[in-house]
Chains A and B, each alone.
Chain A
Amino acid sequence: MVDALQFVFLVIAAVEVLTAVLVVTAKKLMWAAFWLALSLVTMAGIYLLFQSEFVGIIQIFIYAGAVPVVFLFGIMLTRTRAMEDVP
């Protein structure tokens, strides 16, 4: 029998694994950065579920607010074409 907390944990964990797989398989690099941000936010959800609020909020602060922005900057500064031509 699965209680409510376990059910929530399973849902969050499933979302996290799914987004982590999508980070690797995404065709566009921007999407990979977006999935990475989502994966890290769900990780903060797991921390919150385990009653460690401070770690969870710091996780959102740093790994969802700051790190993906730096990644996106990095992607845009490389030689990959960030924009596409109109077909």
Chain B
Amino acid sequence: MSGHLVDLFGGSNAIAVFLITIINFILRGIGSLPLFGFLNPLADWLGTEPVVTSIAWLIAITIMITWAAALHLLTFIWLERKLVARLQDRRGPMITLRKDRYIGGTGYLQQIADALKLIQKENITPKAADPWMFHIAPAFLISTTIVVLVALPFSEGFVVANVPAGLLFILAAFSLAPLAILLAGWAQNNKYAMIGGMRAAAMMMSYEIPMILAVIAVVVLAGSLNPIEIVNQQSQLSILAPLAAIGIANWYIIPQFLGFFIFLLAMLAEQERIPFDFPEAEEEVVHGWLVEYGGMRFGMVYGFKWLRTFVAAALVALLFLGGWHGPVLPQEIWFILKIYFVFFIFIWISWSVPRIRIDQILNIGWRKLIPLGLFNIFLAVLVVHANAQGWI
């Protein structure tokens, strides 16, 4: 197990101290002039401990949002387009800045072109819609996803806040979205949007319980709700030590394969990907709850899906694939590699299978996944007990 590259809070603290030193230098320079003496107490206040810490927090959160919601969101959208094009025997987006290399372009600029196009469009509010809710619901949706990034660690150092019950916080914030989707569907006052919102809420009731059951099994094995502690448990060789010989040590995918399967299905449903995308099925309900949104508001509610994909892939890697545990390379690189691997599995599944019906997800959720999840918890308790007794 190698070390981590980034110490997010320490780095942010250093940046904050550096910025405040520069600002104080300027302020004291001006404050030495006759009329501007009132600036000196301001400079003193800026140098005190609580102010430095608050600014360091702000910088840490900004770095985290830029890292996840700008860099990886754009890469995910680009990668999905390219991989889907490959699966469908097309080339996908190919926009580049150089006109002469039109055929060989990577197409990474396509997202930026799309965003520029959407920003220029008019923000249309339908006449029959509830205007306030229509505009609040996307913000609600996106803020509940972005707040997840506060507790989501990318390595031992690359985390904004190391919360004791961080996993619970992530799942709680993650499960707020169906409420926002239902409200968004209602506010548009359109029957397709309404049906989409109802479908999202009905689907949430069927996948949320198996997801929590799968997480409970992991928590039983790890004995902690802290994501960093769960990953550390997976890097130790306590449970199932014989499997350490084949190199993947103690990742929870080995004792918890059933849980991994359930969690993967629940995460596919959480992102409304294709086997479970009936809230926005374009053939049935013309994009469901997104139907009345236009311009950048549509871009936001449509693009946030990849942020949820990113968080979902990170959660799968964190809980079942050993997080940032791996040989030689630094922790961050391992974690990002695993996230992209899980993302590739998501794309592969979602563009290879047809959509299921709304009554089928209720059947799958309630009659198959919940009993499997309970059995999975039994398995986890068995493994912990066997380990405590020294049987394995």
- Give the distance in Å from the alpha carbon of A14 to the alpha carbon of B231 in the complex: 40
Whether the pair B127, A86 counts as a contact (CB closer than 8 A) is: yes
The reply to whether the CB of B78 lies closer than 8 angstroms to some CB of chain A is no
In the bound complex, do residue A30 and residue B201 qualify as a contact, i.e. CB atoms below 8 Å apart? no
Contact residues in A for B191 (Cβ distance below 8 Å): 83
Point out the residue from B133, B165, B172, B189 that lies within 8 Å of A83, measured CB to CB: B189
> Do residues B189 and A72 form an inter-chain contact, with CB atoms below 8 A?
no
A-binding segment of B17-25, B177-185, B356-364: B177-185
User: Do A82 and B165 touch across chains, with their CB atoms under 8 A apart?
Assistant: no
Within 8 A of A (CB), among B125-179: 127-128, 130, 133, 163-165, 168-169, 171-173, 175-176, 178-179
Chain A residue, CB-CB nearest to B194: A83
A69: which B residues are within 8 A, CB to CB? 178-179, 182, 201, 204-205
Size category of the binding interface on chain B: 20 to 34
Name the residue in A31, A53, A57 with the highest tally of chain B Cβ atoms < 10 Å from its Cβ. A57
User: Do the beta carbons of B172 and A60 come within 8 Å of each other?
Assistant: yes
Closest to B132 in A: A31
In chain B, positions 179-229 with a C-beta closer than 8 Å to chain A are 179, 182-183, 186-187, 189, 191, 194, 198, 201, 204-205, 208
- Roughly how many angstroms separate A53 CA and B96 CA in the complex, as a whole number? 48
| Distance between A49 CB and nearest chain B CB, rounded to angstroms | 15
CB distance from B376 to the nearest CB of A (A): 20
| Count of A-B residue pairs with CB < 8 Å | 71
Q: Are A61 and B179 in contact (CB under 8 A)?
A: no
Decide: A76 near B204, CB < 8 A? Known: A28-B130, A69-B182: no
Contacts A54-B165, A73-B201; is A82 near B178 (CB within 8 Å)? no
| Minimum distance in angstroms from B144 CB to a CB of chain A | 9
**A57 & B169 in contact (Cβ 8 Å cutoff):** yes
A82-B194 contact given A61-B172, A69-B205, CB 8 Å threshold: yes
Asked if B169 and A30 make an inter-chain contact with CB atoms under 8 angstroms apart, the answer reads: no
Q: Could you say which residues of chain A place their CB within 8 Å of the CB of B130? A: 28, 30
Task: For the complex, give the distance between the alpha carbons of A41 and B43 in Å.
Answer: 37
Residue contact B205 to A87, C-beta cutoff 8 Å: no
Residues of B within 8 A of A87 (CB): 127-128
Q: How far is the CA of A86 from the CA of B133 in the complex (A)?
A: 17
Q: A34-B133, A82-B186 are in contact. List 6 more A-B contacts (CB 8 A).
A: A54-B168, A57-B172, A61-B168, A65-B176, A84-B189, A86-B128
Residues of B near any A CB (own CB < 8 A): 50, 127-128, 130, 133, 163-165, 168-169, 171-173, 175-176, 178-179, 182-183, 186-187, 189, 191, 194, 198, 201, 204-205, 208
Which 9 pairs between the two chains have the least Cβ-Cβ distance?
Answer: A61-B172, A65-B175, A60-B172, A86-B128, A57-B168, A69-B201, A57-B169, A57-B172, A72-B182
- A interface with B by C-beta (< 8 Å): 4, 28, 30-31, 34, 37, 53-54, 57-58, 60-61, 64-66, 68-69, 72-73, 76, 82-87
Q: Could you list some 11 contacts between A and B, CB below 8 A?
A: A53-B163, A53-B165, A58-B168, A58-B172, A60-B169, A65-B172, A69-B204, A72-B179, A73-B198, A76-B186, A86-B189
